[in-house]
A and B are shown apart, each in its own frame.
Chain A
Amino acid sequence: MEFLESILVTPFIEIWESPYYFIELVLVGLSTGVLYSLVALGFVLIFKASGMFNFAQGAMVLFAALTLVGLMEHGLPLWAALILSVATMVGLAFLVERFMLRHLVNQEGLILFMATIGLNFILEGTGQLMWGSDVKRLEIGIPDQPFDILGGKVLLNTFDVTAAFIGALLVITLAVFFQKTPMGRALRAVADDHQAALSVGIPLKTIWIAVWTIAGIVALVAGIVWGAKSGVQFSLSLIALKALPVLILGGFTSVPGAIVGGLIIGVGEKVAEGFWGPALGGAIENWFAYMLALAFLVFRPQGLFGEKIIERV
Chain B
Amino acid sequence: MPDGPQTPTGRVIGDVIMKVENVSLSFGGVRALDNVSFDVREHEILAIIGPNGAGKSSMLNCINGFYHPQEGAITYKGKRRDTAKPYEAAEEGIARTFQNIALFKGMSTLDNIMTGRGLKMKRNLFWQALYYGPALKEELEHRAKAEEVIDFLEIEAIRKTPVGRLPYGLQKRVELGRALAAEPDLLLLDEPMAGMNHEEKEDMVRYILDVNDEYGTTIVLIEHDMSVVMDISDRVVVLDYGKKLAAGTPDEVKRNQDVIDAYLGVSHD
- Chain A positions within 8 Å of B, measured between CB atoms, are 177, 181-186, 188-189, 192-193, 195-204, 206-207, 210, 307
Contacts and interface: CB of A to CB of B under 8 A. Distances in A.
Interface residues of B, number: 35
B13 interface: no
B169 interface: no
Contacts of B124: 206
Given A199-B95, A201-B182, 10 more contacts: A177-B129, A182-B125, A188-B111, A193-B102, A196-B103, A199-B89, A199-B96, A199-B102, A200-B178, A200-B182
B115 A202 contact: yes
Contacts of B85: 198
Please classify the interface of chain B as helix (H, G, I), strand (E, B), loop, or mixed, using the class held by over half of its residues.
Answer: helix
B107 A201 contact: no
Given A188-B106, A189-B115, A196-B104, A201 B125 contact: no
> What 7 A-B pairs are tightest by C-beta distance, nearest first?
A201-B90, A196-B102, A198-B86, A192-B104, A183-B129, A201-B119, A201-B87
A174 B163 CA distance: 24
17 contacts: A177-B129, A181-B129, A182-B125, A182-B135, A183-B129, A188-B111, A189-B107, A192-B107, A197-B115, A198-B85, A198-B86, A200-B95, A200-B115, A200-B119, A200-B179, A201-B90, A201-B118
Contacts of B66: 195, 198-199
A307 B162 CA distance: 14
Interface string B122-136: 001110110010010
Interface of B: 64, 66, 85-87, 89-91, 95-96, 98, 102-107, 111, 114-116, 118-119, 121, 124-126, 128-129, 132, 135, 139, 178-179, 182
A189 B135 contact: no
Contact of A200 (B118, B121, B125, B126): B118
Nearest to B113: A200
B118 A186 contact: yes
Contact of B104 (A177, A189, A198, A307): A189
B133 to A, nearest CB: 12
B97 to A, nearest CB: 9
A113 B233 CA distance: 49
Contacts of B129: 177, 181, 183-184, 210
Contacts of B121: 182
A268 to B, nearest CB: 29
